[in-house]
């Protein structure tokens, strides 16, 4: 059965109110906040966020932000580790931008008020995570780096007077007669704000909407991560790339076979400080599977855990950090310690049960080195974007750095030439049908069963067929709009995963277990064309 045609825009009533801006930024993680702050010099900025300002993925980031800040480290070393983790399909030019501009970008973050943990020397304390051969991870509050970065950026935003609209679900991109971005439609809920469906007209739109982890049953992502930015870009005709590369974090706290929604993360930094993985008998199964053992890139560790579970029949594996002692746990990992204890596990005396769960989308809306998408006037940065930095597998703690560096580059690109006048756009009601919100659970079940860590042709064909069969004729509303976004993004992930008949990075095809550079060293680019998803392969030079 062919996939059901997907509408070009979400069914929605005509906007009941409008606002104007020079730049509208969608999202309030590190990418959105930095983009808004840096674009302030170029005109009126309006920041739109789906829930509260601090409800995105940034605040949950435990490990830290990677940059070559140590005298014994270098951008070249950071580049080499990133390329290795990306398994041959990173855009080296994008990685070079990341690692060379990263250290100064982190220092500017400090200038904005971010307080990182310091060593006895007074310099930023650096630790190590999986895939890194150097200690280059800056952290704050032990394991609360994202929360501190979010705090500092929100405080800086407050000083600027940038207008913020909270509790706003972005719906679709507005375009002018020439096909250029002209703003967005959105639905707003909350007191003291314009309510219902409205439109923000702007000649520059920056997507910083975060990830898509809620397409799976279990994820480390917050509830707001429903792939809204990728879905909007597809409906707007923009290219997305590398969606098959969904990274599963190896060490998510296992809460039992029925666990659903956002799961507690046990940061890679725990392994970076010397914790190790064991099976139920206490054997360190990662030793001998990779030169870095537990500190191998995330795809290697996730596959190691899944393979060991297959070999032993056990429902999870375990992280052993009992040798840290209470003082180190309380000082270095207070957030993780509290989360474990909330679920009846004391890492000071107990093994921590862990399992891989959906964590990060290495692919997304395709951009150039300045964050431009294939739709003029539309930019993207952070997890929603595919800059080419991550390739087939994101290197630990490169995500915060990518959001920071490329948000700054977007602001520089927007400011490089005068912005057009606020364009005219069609604000009519959008006809169409929406899926039943009850289909959300079915989408998550299908994706978890057939498009998780382990994939094969039969399972992916089943996923495509079952997704295509999901229908409905729901009334417009947040639940139906989110379900429509999840359905479109899930369908695009499955299409790419079916097409790539090899194993590379976070894409593991059990029926094609080998990496195939001769046929598959390149990118799968997806578009929504005539209401149907099309995917083509672009070979790397």
Q: Which residues make up the CATH 3.90.700.10 domain(s) of the chain?
A: 253-355
Distance of CA 401 to the CA centre of its chain: 13
Q: Which residues contact 363 (CB under 8 A, 6 or more apart)?
A: 240, 241, 242, 243, 244, 245, 246, 386, 496
pLDDT at 2 over 60: no
Phi and psi, residue 506, nearest 5°: -80, 0
Residue 353's nearest CA partner among 247, 251, 261 is: 251
Torsion of CA 29, 30, 33, 34, to 10 degrees: -160
The arithmetic mean of pLDDT across residues 498-512, rounded, is 96
Q: Which residues make up the CATH 3.50.50.60 domain(s) of the chain?
A: 18-245+362-415
Q: Which residues of 19-36 are buried (b: 16+ CB within 10 A; e: fewer)?
A: bebbbbbbbbbbbbbbbb
Residue 511's nearest CA partner among 446, 466, 455, 429 is: 455
Give the pLDDT band (50/70/90) at residue 55.
low
pTM of the predicted model as reported, rounded to 2 decimal places? 0.91
Residue 380's nearest CA partner among 404, 399, 361, 364 is: 364
Q: Which of 59, 96, 298, 308 is catalytic?
A: 298
CATH class as words, domain 253-355:
alpha beta
Distance of CA 46 to the CA centre of its chain: 22
298 backbone φψ class: left, alpha, beta (φ>0; ψ -120 to 50): alpha
Q: Report pLDDT digits (tens) over 149-177.
A: 999 999 999 999 899 999 999 999 999 98
* CATH code of the domain made up of 439-513: 1.20.58.100
* Residues 83 and 74: beta-carbon distance below 8 Å: no
Residue 275's nearest CA partner among 336, 356, 338 is: 336
CA distances from 39 to 9, 164, 325, 523 (A): 28, 14, 46, 31
pLDDT at 6: 37
**Can you tell me the distance from the alpha carbon of 531 to that of 466, in angstroms, rounded to the nearest whole number?**
18
CATH class as words, domain 18-245+362-415:
alpha beta
Q: What percent of the chain stands above pLDDT 70? A: 96
**Can you tell me the distance from the alpha carbon of 89 to that of 533, in angstroms, rounded to the nearest whole number?**
23
Active-site residue, 298 included = yes
Give the pLDDT band (50/70/90) at residue 3.
very low
pLDDT at 477 over 60: yes
**Can you tell me the distance from the alpha carbon of 41 to that of 411, in angstroms, rounded to the nearest whole number?**
9
Q: Which residues make up the CATH 1.20.58.100 domain(s) of the chain?
A: 439-513
pLDDT at 240: 98
């Amino acid at each position: 059965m062919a996939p059901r045609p997907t509408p070009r825009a979400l069914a929605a009533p005509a906007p009941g109110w409008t606002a104007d801006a020079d730049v509208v930024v969608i999202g309030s993680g590190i990418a959105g906040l930095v983009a808004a702050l840096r674009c302030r010099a170029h005109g009126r900025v309006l920041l739109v966020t789906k829930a509260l300002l601090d409800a995105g993925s940034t605040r949950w980031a435990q490990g830290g932000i990677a940059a070559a800040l140590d005298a014994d480290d270098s951008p070249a070393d950071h580049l080499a580790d990133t390329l290795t983790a990306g398994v041959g399909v990173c855009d080296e030019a994008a990685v070079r931008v990341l690692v060379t501009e990263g250290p100064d970008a982190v220092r500017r973050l400090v200038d904005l008020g971010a307080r990182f943990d310091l060593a006895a020397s007074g310099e930023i304390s650096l630790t190590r995570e999986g895939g890194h051969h150097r200690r280059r991870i800056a952290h704050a509050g032990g394991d609360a780096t994202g929360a501190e970065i979010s705090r500092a950026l929100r405080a800086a935003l407050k000083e600027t007077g940038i207008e913020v609209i909270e509790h706003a679900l972005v719906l679709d991109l507005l375009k002018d007669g020439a096909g250029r971005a002209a703003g967005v439609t959105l639905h707003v809920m909350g007191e003291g704000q314009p309510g219902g469906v409205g439109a923000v007209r702007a000649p520059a739109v920056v997507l910083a909407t975060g990830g898509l982890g809620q397409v799976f049953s279990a994820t480390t992502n917050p509830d707001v991560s429903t792939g809204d930015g990728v879905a909007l870009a597809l409906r707007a005709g923009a290219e997305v790339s590398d969606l098959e590369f969904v990274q599963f974090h190896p060490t998510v706290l296992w809460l039992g076979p029925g666990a659903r929604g956002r799961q507690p993360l046990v940061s890679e930094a725990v392994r970076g400080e010397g914790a190790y993985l064991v099976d139920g008998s206490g054997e360190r199964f990662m030793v001998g599977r990779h030169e870095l053992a537990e500190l191998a890139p995330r795809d290697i560790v996730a596959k190691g855990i899944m393979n060991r579970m297959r070999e032993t029949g056990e429902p999870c594996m375990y992280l052993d950090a009992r040798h840290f002692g209470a003082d180190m746990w309380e000082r270095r990992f207070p957030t993780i310690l509290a989360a474990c204890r909330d679920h009846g596990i004391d890492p000071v005396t107990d093994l921590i049960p862990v399992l891989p769960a959906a964590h990060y989308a290495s692919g997304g809306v395709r951009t150039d080195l300045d964050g431009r998408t294939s739709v003029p006037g539309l930019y993207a940065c952070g997890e929603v974007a595919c800059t080419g930095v991550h390739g087939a597998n994101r290197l630990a703690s490169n995500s915060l750095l990518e959001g920071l560096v490329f948000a700054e580059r977007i602001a520089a690109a927007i400011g490089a030439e005068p912005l057009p006048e606020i364009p005219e756009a069609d604000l009519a009601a959008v006809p169409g049908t929406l899926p039943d919100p009850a289909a959300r659970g079915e989408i998550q079940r299908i994706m978890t069963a057939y498009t998780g860590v382990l994939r094969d042709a039969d399972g992916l064909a089943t996923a495509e067929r079952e997704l295509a069969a999901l229908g409905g004729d729901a009334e417009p509303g947040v639940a139906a709009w989110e379900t429509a976004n999840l359905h479109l993004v899930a369908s695009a992930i499955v299409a790419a995963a079916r097409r790539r008949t090899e194993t590379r990075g976070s894409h593991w095809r059990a029926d094609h277990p080998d990496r195939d550079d001769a046929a598959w060293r390149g990118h799968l680019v997806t578009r929504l064309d005539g209401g149907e998803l099309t995917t083509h392969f672009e070979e790397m030079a």
